[in-house]
């Protein structure tokens, strides 16, 4: 059974979500604070986390960032904050999906299944190592190294960079990047993609390279020339 950790300080929301997930055959665990969520993550090693953003003892974004130091486990944020800037902050903070309250429990369960399918359907058809100039990407360990510097990338940033590296020198439209970085049933705005690219560029620039180029009106390409 796949293990799902549900983290929310609202006991009613936990009960509803946990009931729905258990009915679908998941092994479900609960936490009500950020501190407990970290402890449960370390003890249980779940396959996915449903994580509230606004909580006592460590908000969801901080919890996600701490987990991302050691794991690429899928994380779905739950939040009452529905502005685009809040969604972008959650995704940039390492989240794989962002669901706003009030929400459809059936849709949330579908999103959980989609994230777990995506995790299980790792791109085995692709080679696990991608090298472009000084950039080396290992898709199995999900590590990215440039000239000896390991980049600390979110899941989405890693997937975007990998997609561009696989098509070195070619322009990828935003729609292609969305397909590479998100589940098939997930739609995000161009501004969200641009925000991820901006953060990715900042991290690349920090190690002394600027290989991501904008092709106005089309998309982005990766080139070290």
- Domain spans of the chain, in order of start: 3-120, 129-222
| Contact residues for 87 (Cβ-Cβ < 8 A; gap 6+) | 98, 100, 192
Q: Rounded CA gap, 70 and 65, in Å?
A: 10
Report residue 54 CA to chain centroid gap: 18
Structure tokens that stand for 86 in this block: 């809040």
Quick: pLDDT tens for 195-208: 889 999 999 999 99
Q: Rounded CA gap, 47 and 41, in Å?
A: 10
CATH number of 129-222: 1.10.10.10
Quick: pLDDT tens for 146-181: 988 999 998 888 989 998 998 888 888 888 887 777
May I ask the CATH architecture of the domain 3-120? 3-Layer(aba) Sandwich (3.40)
| Single pTM value for the model | 0.60
Q: Rounded CA gap, 26 and 179, in Å?
A: 27
Q: pLDDT-based confidence at 186, cuts 50/70/90?
A: low
């Amino acid at each position: 059974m796949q293990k799902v950790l549900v983290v929310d300080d609202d006991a009613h929301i936990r009960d509803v979500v946990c009931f729905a997930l258990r009915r679908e055959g998941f092994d479900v665990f609960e936490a009500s604070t950020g501190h407990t969520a970290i402890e449960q993550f370390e003890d249980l090693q779940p396959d996915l986390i449903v994580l509230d953003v606004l909580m006592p003892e460590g908000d969801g974004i901080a919890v996600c960032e701490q987990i991302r130091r050691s794991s690429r486990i899928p994380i779905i944020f739950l939040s009452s904050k529905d502005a685009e800037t809040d969604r972008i902050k959650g995704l940039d903070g390492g989240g794989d999906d962002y669901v706003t309250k009030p929400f459809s429990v059936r849709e949330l369960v579908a999103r959980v299944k989609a994230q777990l399918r995506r995790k299980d359907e790792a791109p085995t058809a692709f080679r696990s190592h991608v090298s472009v100039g000084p950039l080396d990407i290992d898709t199995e360990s999900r590590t990215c190294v440039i000239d000896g510097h390991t980049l600390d990338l979110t899941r989405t940033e890693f997937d975007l960079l990998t997609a561009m590296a696989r098509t070195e020198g070619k322009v990828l439209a935003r729609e292609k990047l969305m397909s590479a970085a998100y589940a098939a049933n997930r739609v995000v705005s161009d501004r969200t993609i641009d925000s991820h690219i901006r953060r990715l560029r900042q991290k690349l620039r920090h190690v002394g390279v600027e290989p991501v180029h904008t092709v106005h009106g089309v998309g982005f390409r990766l080139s070290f020339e």
